[in-house]
Amino acid sequence: MSVRVRPLGPEERCGAWKLDGKSIQEPTNGRGRERSYTFDNVFDQASTTSAVYEHTTKELVLKVVDGFNCTVFAYGQTSSGKTHTMRGTQEEPGVITLAVQDIFGTIASQSGRQFCLRVSYMEVRRRRHAPSRSQRAPRAAASGCAPCDGAVC
């Protein structure tokens, strides 16, 4: 399991979470003992989607060409960056685009074999299929402060 921390927006409040290698810590703030959560990978705000893909998904996705089924699952709260990581942008392709490029590049390099691919993609929001971008309501701005270095809201 991996965690990618997205950059904080200017309207967001500073959080108490701190990144430390493959762990995320929640300081006590005088309320008891510190909690630490450890993951296979923790990607900070400066991490690129390409780096996330290379370390979490590429090896798994390329097993598809060898006949294995593959599932890539992004889960998190609203506005945590799942769609950005999976879909990406023109300038920074997402995990889906990078996976498709790798799969078809691998297929193209293997002459003499036939391939049959079945691919599906589904985005669920609030237990419903996602509305189109034009139907989504604008996100309300939260009062806050300047982003904190190493903090996660």
What are 86-95's pLDDT values in tens digits? 999 999 999 9
* Other CB atoms within 10 Å distance of the CB of residue 61: 21
Pairing outcome for strands 23-26 and 35-38: antiparallel
What pTM does this model have? 0.71
Distance, in Å, from the CA atom of 83 to the CA atom of 136, rounded to the nearest integer, reads: 13
- What is the reported pLDDT for 15? 59
Kindly tell me if the per-residue pLDDT of 121 is higher than 60. yes
Question: 73 pLDDT band (50/70/90 cuts)?
Answer: confident
Inter-residue contact 7 to 16 (CB < 8 Å): no
Residue whose C-alpha is closest to residue 145's, from 48, 47, 11: 11
| C-alpha distance from residue 150 to each of 10, 17, 24, 33 (Å) | 15, 8, 10, 20
